[in-house]
Chain A
Amino acid sequence: METLEQIRDRILARFPGAEASIVANPSPAAQPSLLLGAGLAREIAEFLRDDPLLQLDFCSNVTGVDWLDREIAEPAGKRLQPGYLEVVYHLYSMALRQGPVVLRLRTGNRTDRVTLPSLTPVWRSCEFQEREVFDLFGVVFSGHPDLRRLLMWEEFKDHPLRKDYVEPDDYEWEPTPHGEVLTKARRHYPAPPAAAAGGQGAP
């Protein structure tokens, strides 16, 4: 299979205005991915599917990542990089038995510019997984045929896999709390009676 650099170069040659860059992966997996701009993402996806050398006809996995605002230390001083939501697609070719090619799409921010083009018209297997990303991360996929919540109920307001999600506070009964759970459970503890505080077998 072509390297990701070759794929990127062919994309840039085919779509002159496209944004495509490679995101390196410093982990032991060392699997780089292709970051696409949202504008031409659907057309590039169709190209990847139909190109005779690639034939990436199967999208096996769609997942979301929530990136919070980050401070980046630079020689000129600290710079605040605003957060964004990221959607990751893993593509394989069943015809040529090759892959994966990893695509990334990023939203403008985490609040109001969260729309990305849906790739469900390109790969049908994205349908439920994009719904899941919409449900749990709040990414809105334009062009999705049936964009509803998948796992949570319709009336649910939040996006539970976002890093700033506040869960319901039902820690009133924790038999063996420790760590973070203990901190949360403590808010529900009744104040110990003065008599019982000293008489519970304290060493």
Chain B
Amino acid sequence: MNDLIIEKTQSTPYINFSHEHKKLFISGESFPENAAKFYAPILEWIKQIINDPNTDSFTADFEIIYFNSSTSKVFMTIFDTFENAVKKGMQITVNWRCDSENETAIECGEEFKEDLSTLPFNIVLVKGVENG
């Protein structure tokens, strides 16, 4: 499996999937014109890693300060996929990292968390999360 790195743009986040470190990192803002198209390679990568026989655990860090409705729907799909993988025995942890002063980002994290039952979803408060 190859690593996947997508540089951030004005409307899309920075994405770094490291197969070696078993880590997915998304940071910045997300309001792509076509969320389905933008996130298609990411969803494909996720599908591959959860079906990879050599991978039994990985971490996903989300550090998103602003996102649109289409993005939140994609995130729900991602978390849903993770949740199904966790049910099948994979160890996945999601860290929803947000600035301790960004109430909206914190509340959104809580909203995502509420819909999940088996996926460990941590809301991590950090100081000074900025765009990308």
A, B assembled together: no
The residues of B with any CB-CB pair to A shorter than 8 Å are none
